[in-house]
Each structure stands twice: as structure tokens, then as C-alpha cells.
Structure 1
Amino acid sequence: MNLEKHYNGLWENALQQFKAGAFELDPFLSSGDDDRFGLTLLFRPDEAVKESIGAFLQELRQVEPAQYYYPSSDLHVTVMSVISCHAGFRLSHIDRAAYINVLRECLADIKSFRVDFRGITASPSCIMVQGFPASGQLNDLRDKLRESFRKSSLQQTMDSRYILRTAHITAARFKEPLHNPAAFLDRLQANRSHSFGSTEVHHIELVYNDWYQRQAAVQNVCNFRLN
């Protein structure tokens, strides 16, 4: 996949929606009644990248303070949604050791890799920081995961929503109508090509999580160190 082209396509589609006032609001962010949990393999950007993203989000917050902005503790890149978040799922429903064993086999030959975070894109429901892996390690891992879990009898919902090929960080979500959409779009446009820095990925986490990966709701299941 040409990530640059893909991110640009997402942006152009979202921009048309934004200009028409068609922001997709997330009803769960304000309801307090969200029972969606899942199992996710992910990695987190380093502190310098988090700080850079935080500064960008502060710009947005000054224009639209009522939207949902991810705290630095929750910023992440999804390697794979092993079990996509859905109502009623609990960690006790699965054999954790069996999942860890499959993941260890998949990760055995995966070396550490760099991801460059450059520019932002969007969907009608959220703002994302664009990630560009410097090698093919991430997609190699994803392909191994798909093959290994397909051969296993373990519960999984990989690629059930879409086939994951990007390395983006979701940074903000819309939870109520915007009060100053023109100024908000100006801030987005100003950061379309902004460099947020790079992260060398040495660790990957398996977590039990809610939809938003909120730190208070996340339970670490296993940490994996890459070669």
C-alpha cells in the first residue's frame, strides 16, 4: 500500500465532509455507558513524539475545547485488533496463555523498526497522526498474525472492520457539534505536513482495552521485546 496516497485519500474525503458540516459525533463519549472491550496488540510512541502531538492537540483544544483529545498516556499505534471491541467481552472469556504463545511465535523473527510520524489526516469522526514505517517489519508481523490465528482455533476478529495497513495514531474524536469549524479546519490544514518525530519500536504490548484505550480501563496482558 502507498501510505502517502492512502492518507491523502482519507484527508480529501474527510475535508469534503467537514466543509459540509458532516462531523460524525461519537455518542459513547458523553453517555458514560460503554461496555465495549477487546484484545489489542499495540505499541506506543516515545515521549518526544507524545509531547509533539500534545502541543498540536493543545492548538485544537484552544479552538474547540469540548471535543475529545487523547491524553499522552493513551496514544498508541494498533498493530492488530486481535479481538475487536464489542459489548460484553471480558478477558476471562479467553485462555490468555494460548494467545501469548501464538504471539511469541509470530514475533520471534521480527526485529525492531522505526516509524516516522509526519502530518495529520482525518475521517469524519476523528483526527489522526500519520505514521510511516521505515521498513516492512510491521506489515510482515501483521501477515504472520493473520496466518497464525487463521490456523488456530482461538477466537479472533482480525480485519473484520477493515484490513489494517496503516500506522496511524488516533489523536482526537468529535463528541459534540463544533462551535468554530472554520478555525478548527485552519489548524488542521496548518499541520497537514508537520513532523511529530520518530519512534524506534522495541516493545509491543498485548492489552485488554476499552474502545478508546483509556489508561484507567486498559489491562496489560503481556509485553514482548523485539530483537
Structure 2
Amino acid sequence: MNLAEHYNQLYKDSIAKIADGNYEIDHLIDSDNDQRFGITLVIRPDAATKGKIQQFVNKAKAIEPDQYFYQNPDIHITLMAIISCYDGFNLKNINVQDYIDIIDEVLSRYKKFKIQFSGLTASPSCILIQGFLTNTLNKIRDDLRTAFKNSDLQQSIDKRYAIQTAHSTVIRFRSELKNKEALIDLVEKYRNFDFGTFEVKQVELVYNDWYQRQKHVKKLHTFLLAAD
């Protein structure tokens, strides 16, 4: 996959829909009845990168204060959704250590690597930071796919789609956009903004809700990647 082309096409298609009012509002984001949970391997950007992201987020918040904005503890890249969030999943359903053992065996083969956050793209329901990855990340994903396929553990890897990017969602639409043009203008200004390049030194396995909100996330294990 050519990531730049993928992000560009996604941006063009989605911004056109947003401009025409054909964006999607997430009606579950404030629901107390949302019981979608799962387990996910996530990567956290460093503090400097998150600081630059918040500069953009704060400007967007001033334009569209009623939308949902990711704060620093919630910002993440999904390395792999091991069990995609579904209604009723509970940690009691699985033996967490079995998952840790498989993931550790895979990650022990890999050294730390870098991800660049450069520019913004969009979907009809959210605004995303564009992440550009080294080949290491996709190799890890392929090895995880193989390892879990060869196990009898509950998993739903690639059931929704085969993840190939390294984006991070930072805004979700939860109500009607009141200043749509101004928001699009701001996104356009940050279209190619350099949010930073950071080194991935560790990966977290977490129990999480659909939005990776800190209040619902439970860290299950931290995997440290080897130094160069």
C-alpha cells in the first residue's frame, strides 16, 4: 500500500462529504449503555508529538467545541486489535497470560523503530493524524496474525479490515457541525503539518472501550522493544 496515496484519497473523499453535510455523527460516544470492549495492542506517541497534536486540537475545539476531542492519555496508534470491541466482552472470558505469552514471543524478535506523524486526513466521522511507518510495523503485524492463527485463542484479527496504516484519531463528530467551513479551513492548514517523529520503544496490551478512553482502559502488559 502507498500510504501517501491512501491518505490523500481518503482525505479528498471524506472532506467532500463533510463539506456537503454527509458526515457521520457517533451517537454512542456519550452513551452510558455502550458496553463494547476488547483487547488491543497500542502504541503511544511521545510527549513532544502529543504536544503538537494538542495545539491543533485546541484550535479545532475553539471552532467546534461540541465535538469529541482526544486528550493526551487517549491518543494512540492501534498496532493490532486482538479482540475487536464488542458488546459484552469481559476479561473473565479469556486467560490474559496466554495472550501475553504469544505477543511476547513475537515482539521479542524486534527492535525499536520510528513512526512519523505528518499531516491530517479524514473519514466521514473523524479527523485523523497521518502516520507513516517503517516496514517493521507491518512485519510485526504479519507475525502476530500468524501466531494467533496458529493458536486456539479467541481473537478477531482482521475481521473488520486488515490494518495497514499508523493513523491516530484525534476528533470524532458527536453532534452537528456548526462551523463546518472554518473547521475544514483549519484542517487544510494542518494538511501537511509535521507533528513529529518518535521512536517506538514499547507496546501496550490494553483492555479498552471503543474510544480508548483513559477511564475505561486497563493496561494488561507493557512489552519493551530491544535497543538497536
Under a length normalisation based on structure 1, what TM-score does the superposition of the two structures give? 0.98
**Structure 1 residue ranges without an equivalent (≥5):** none
- Give the ranges of 4+ consecutive aligned residues of structure 1 lying more than 4 Å apart after TM superposition: none
Measured in 1, the distance between the counterparts of 2:141 and 2:215 equals: 27
Equivalent residue pairs, number: 226
Deviation at 1:29, TM superposition (A): 1.4
What is the aligned partner in structure 1 of residue 197 from structure 2? 198
Alignment of 1:60-79 (within 5 A): 60-79=60-79
Measured in 2, the distance between the counterparts of 1:151 and 1:113 equals: 26
Measured in 2, the distance between the counterparts of 1:33 and 1:192 equals: 36
What secondary structure is seen at the aligned counterpart in 2 of 1:204?
Answer: strand
What is the aligned partner in structure 2 of residue 39 from structure 1? 39
What is the aligned partner in structure 1 of residue 17 from structure 2? 17
What secondary structure is seen at the aligned counterpart in 2 of 1:209?
Answer: strand
Measured in 2, the distance between the counterparts of 1:36 and 1:67 equals: 21
What secondary structure is seen at the aligned counterpart in 2 of 1:41?
Answer: strand
What is the aligned partner in structure 2 of residue 82 from structure 1? 82
AA paired with 1:211? W
Deviation at 1:92, TM superposition (A): 1.1
- Name the Cα RMSD after superposition: 0.7
Deviation at 1:72, TM superposition (A): 0.6
What secondary structure is seen at the aligned counterpart in 1 of 2:198?
Answer: strand
Alignment of 1:1-227 (within 5 A): 1-133=1-133, 135-227=134-226
What secondary structure is seen at the aligned counterpart in 1 of 2:152?
Answer: coil
**Structure 2 residue ranges without an equivalent (≥5):** none
Identity among equivalent pairs (%): 45
More displaced stretch, 97-106 vs 24-33: 24-33
What secondary structure is seen at the aligned counterpart in 2 of 1:120?
Answer: strand
TM-superposition CA deviations, 1:57-93 (whole Å, max 9, x none): 0111111000000011100000000000000001111
AA paired with 1:153? D
What secondary structure is seen at the aligned counterpart in 1 of 2:30?
Answer: helix
